[in-house]
Amino acid sequence: MITILSHAKNLDFKTDSDLDAYSIPEHLDDSRILINELRQLNPKDIKKLMKVSDDIANVNFERNLAWKTPFTVDNAKHAIMAFKGQVYIGLDAGSFTGEDHVFAQNHLRILSGLYGILKPLDLIQAYRLEMGTKLKNKKGKNLYEFWGNKITESINTELTKQKDKVLINLASNEYFKAIKSKKVNGEIITPVFKEQKGNDFKVITVYAKTARGLMSKFIIQNKIDNPDDIKAFDLDGYLFNKDLSVETEWVFTR
């Protein structure tokens, strides 16, 4: 069983990671191609492309220039410790034990516009590149065309190592679109998190993001490799709602 998350726009490269073990992103050569494309853009171009403020555009212009290989613990940081934001607040990787990190390395993958797909302990350097960004490149007009089948092929390789060939999709729609779902060699289950509003249940985005991280934490800390066991998820008041769930979309409500 493999769980997937989206990356986060917010990054923390000021706090040192205390993890010793690390890995290198699988598609770093492709990342270098994208960085070279991004280096053709000045801050004004970045602002227009990414629809960000002047300050954010300037920061990322400098990031693109500073990006360099090889990645080391001195110039890069573990992905699971670098990403911040609502999902990663829920994940709370700072609370993980050594065994938790080992399990995460084998069962959790993070989708990224720049890096394609990451293991938690992969070293990364600071960047901003959303999967939905319409960055023209040699392979097409956007990042979906750039990554093509590569992310799906990486997931299929990971699934061959698992007892249960199941992909738990905790990524956003923008990032899940980078996976060719019909080509995934396994079952895909998408947990959905809803809040009760009167007599109805609705998805509230900010809460759903945190819940995706919480479920990933639940899976990792309980070393879950049987999909049915995630129905026991009960963090932050959520419970599995059998009545609202269907075969491939499991709904958790509170």
Q: What is the pLDDT at residue 74?
A: 95
Strand blocks (E) in 84-222: 108-112, 116-118, 123-124, 166-169, 187-197, 200-202
* Domain range summary for the chain, segments of one domain joined by +: 2-253
Enter the pTM of the model: 0.96
pLDDT digits (tens, 9 = 90+) for 63-106: 999 999 999 999 999 999 999 999 999 999 999 999 999 999 99
pLDDT digits (tens, 9 = 90+) for 136-155: 999 999 999 999 999 999 99
Strand blocks (E) in 88-228: 108-112, 116-118, 123-124, 166-169, 187-197, 200-202
pLDDT digits (tens, 9 = 90+) for 52-68: 999 999 999 999 999 99
192-198: Cβ within 8 A, 24+ apart: 192/249, 192/250, 192/251, 192/252, 193/238, 193/251, 193/252, 193/253, 194/241, 194/244, 194/251, 194/252, 194/253, 194/254, 195/253, 195/254, 196/253, 196/254
* Angular region, 248: left φ>0, alpha ψ -120 to 50, beta rest: alpha
Nearest CA to 111 among 17, 66, 177? 177
